Amino acid sequence: MEPLKPQFFSNIAQTQSVAILDAGAQYGKLIVRRVRELAVQSELIPLDASTQTLKRYAAFIISGGPESVYSAAAPRVSSAIFTLGKPILGICYGMQLMNFVAGGSVKKKRRREDGLCEVALKIDSELFKGLSKTEMVLMTHGDSVDLVGTGFKVIGRSDGLIAAIENVEKKIYGVQFHPEVDLTLNGKKMLSNFLFGIAGLSPTFSIEDREEKAIEYIRQRVGIKKVLILLSGGVDSTTCAALLAKALSADQIYAIHIDTGLMRKNESAEVERALRKLGLNLKVIKAKNIFLTATTTIDGTQTLPLNRVTDPEQKRKIIGDTFVRVAQQAIINLGLDSAEVILAQGSLRPDLIESASSLVSSKAQTIKTHHNDTFLVRQLRAQGRVIEPLSEYHKDEVRELATGLGLSESLVWRQPFPGPGLGIRILAATKPYKTPDFAKINKQIDKFSTEKYQVRLLPIRTVGVQGDGRSYSYLAGITCQVKPDWAALIKLARAIPKTVHAVNRVAFFFGKKRLVKVEEITPTFVNLKTLAQLRQADAIVNKLLLKHQLMKTISQVPVVLLPLSFGIKDARSIAIRTMITNDFMTGVPAIPGMELPEEVLQTMVEKILAQVSGIARVCYDLTSKPPGTTEWE
């Protein structure tokens, strides 16, 4: 049984609809959302859709993607799209593909671009009408257009690289950057110019009442069956539960909170109090020992127990599959027929995008597997036994819905916490990460050092997203002997991954001691000791965020335990990662002295070093998303 997708949008004439052709972009569904926000109907369809399908649409947007146009695995578009006489906008890979088809060339340049970049635009182009001659945009690519194809001319450059092209006669435009994300400050204006000025569409599409449609979806899918919802206490699962409570009778809903032992300080107790206030009959399952020793099977091979695993993807899959197994046992303990029980999840669009779920894209790469999209969850989804009323939404939209449902402000603005909990905020490792070219990369990094700042390569890996694909690469660390200039540090952090492609994250390490030679680590696993260290550091950070009313202005603040010892036996380090975002697909770190008061950050550092035993240093993550994901794993 193919699971039904929620439909929140009204039908309008197909001739006013835009097709978003999916080339495997992490932001494909975000393009759909942006177009709909501009009151134009849009749908995500396969890149290789048939000519008959393409004829149904008024205009096309070809998304970005992780492949090179020269790769054997490169997704291709039907050549018919260029003969229909309809407007086309190519984004990132989409621009490279249309240029390649037109006889132009695409090459991997010495410099790649990941993160915020300044582009120079020709504002006499219809695409950039009403914009400034220079704009800040998000780039994430390794290949670049080298020679433009027949009929195209360059209308934008980024420090010498071609950033935008156009063929006015055929109404075909391409941008190397991503106008659909918040980080491209005037991206929505560019999309508006394409839709209305170039494609000549009318803003006649309207979003219907989300709450009503979500309730209708739940009733349609569930019928008279029972529903089991696993509640973390975050806004996503809580909103999902509130919708269930409105859509179904109380005796149909079984709400469970699983205390995995990977929760923040006092998390489970707070979650239980908050959810009982909603009138939910909540059952709390204590499963700390089950999770720490849990294993799973991946591609036919059984993993080591969670407390001995270092690979972040394995950790996520173990935790996610164990969630399902504990839930299945709970169903048995409740005396229910598992075949008649549907699992409800608060999965959001970014969760499924980063997991490369087939629900959002057939070509996107997996950035990280979310606990609500593991193999076992996908099996249940294929059987029609999973409902996800929020799977069309992003975090800001869910918060709007939650407010409309009457949820308390404390629940609505609760700091997002990943389902796998602290388990994926402990960077596990048994030895330093050092590839054969470690010394060579370190020399490349050292070129960014100045009289004020020292930059060093550190022997650990973090997860990132570069060129629409997953990277698992080095961390670069910065120290300084003087008071840090945070604007200069942010600029430096943006520059490093563009040149040193083996680095996807840059962090500033507090303390005047230089990073002379950092090549050793403290072996680290997810266990009671490391969980206690991280839990205490996390509590310090969150208490100060709450005290200074920073929960709304800073979207998310993961606190991460690193195996870096800096020469102190058995010591580890703590990273503070802030993220400011609306779409939760891209974002920037809070700048100390602006969004985050410097004295608050300094107090966090001092308290962690004074109160958490075994911590050598504290660092502040300076990386935007991309090239670094919000979480380090």
Residue 262: which CATH number?
3.40.50.620
Residue 168 buriedness (CB in 10 A; 0-12 / 13-18 / 19+): middle
Which pLDDT score, from 0 to 100, does residue 608 have? 98
Looking at the fold, whether 252 and 387 belong to one and the same domain comes out as yes
Looking at the fold, whether 255 and 193 belong to one and the same domain comes out as no
Instruction: Decide if 632 is inside a domain.
Output: no
Looking at the fold, whether 448 and 314 belong to one and the same domain comes out as no
Rg, C-alpha atoms of the chain: 24
- pTM for the model: 0.71
Angle, alpha carbons 613-619-622 (nearest 5°): 160
Mean pLDDT, the chain cut into blocks of 10 residues (633 residues total):
36 68 81 89 87 93 88 85 95 94 89 86 97 93 91 95 96 96 93 97 78 91 91 84 91 90 88 77 89 94 97 91 86 82 76 42 42 63 82 78 84 78 95 95 93 94 79 94 92 92 95 81 97 97 93 91 95 97 82 95 98 98 91 92
Number of domains into which the chain is organized: 3
Instruction: Decide if 9 is inside a domain.
Output: no
Looking at the fold, whether 376 and 491 belong to one and the same domain comes out as no
Structural domain for 149, as ranges: 14-198
**Cis ω on the peptide bond leading into residue 627 (within 30° of 0)?**
yes
User: In terms of DSSP bridges, do strands 172-175 and 161-167 run parallel, antiparallel, or are they unpaired?
Assistant: antiparallel
Identify the domain boundary among 390, 421, 452. Answer: 421
Contact criterion met (CB below 8 Å) for 558 and 538: no
* Buried-exposed string 43-68: b where 16+ CB fall within 10 A, e elsewhere: ebbbbebeeeebeebbbbbbbbbbbb
Instruction: Decide if 626 is inside a domain.
Output: no
Q: What's the CA gap between 430 and 524, in Å, rounded?
A: 6
Q: What's the CA gap between 216 and 351, in Å, rounded?
A: 23
Tens digits of residue pLDDT in 10-41:
333 446 899 999 888 777 778 988 998 899 98
Looking at the fold, whether 307 and 383 belong to one and the same domain comes out as yes
Looking at the fold, whether 159 and 307 belong to one and the same domain comes out as no
The residues, ordered by sequence, that sit 6+ positions from 432 with a Cβ below 8 Å of its Cβ are 459, 460, 519, 520, 521
Looking at the fold, whether 289 and 358 belong to one and the same domain comes out as yes
Which pLDDT score, from 0 to 100, does residue 374 have? 57
Q: DSSP for 73-91, please give it.
A: T-----GGGGTS---EEEE
Which pLDDT score, from 0 to 100, does residue 435 have? 95
Catalytic residue status for 92: yes
Looking at the fold, whether 518 and 601 belong to one and the same domain comes out as yes
Select which of 67, 92, 388, 480 is catalytic: 92
Q: What's the CA gap between 441 and 425, in Å, rounded?
A: 26
Collapsed DSSP state (helix, strand, coil) of residue 472: strand
Catalytic residue status for 178: yes
Q: What's the CA gap between 522 and 520, in Å, rounded?
A: 7
Looking at the fold, whether 361 and 494 belong to one and the same domain comes out as no
The residues, ordered by sequence, that sit 6+ positions from 491 with a Cβ below 8 Å of its Cβ are none
Which pLDDT score, from 0 to 100, does residue 21 have? 93
Identify the domain boundary among 198, 229, 256. Answer: 198
Tens digits of residue pLDDT in 435-462:
999 999 999 999 999 989 999 999 999 9
Report how far apart, in Å, the C-alpha atoms of 58 and of each of 33, 54, 147, 174, 184 are.
17, 9, 29, 17, 25
Q: What's the CA gap between 105 and 112, in Å, rounded?
A: 16
Identify the domain boundary among 198, 230, 257. Answer: 198
Looking at the fold, whether 146 and 281 belong to one and the same domain comes out as no
In this structure, how many other beta carbons lie within 10 angstroms of the beta carbon of residue 396? 14
Select which of 67, 135, 166, 180 is catalytic: 180
Q: What is the DSSP letter of 303?
A: P
The residues, ordered by sequence, that sit 6+ positions from 127 with a Cβ below 8 Å of its Cβ are 89, 155, 164, 166, 173, 175, 190, 193, 194, 198
Tens digits of residue pLDDT in 332-386:
888 888 778 888 888 765 444 444 444 444 444 443 344 455 566 677 777 778 8
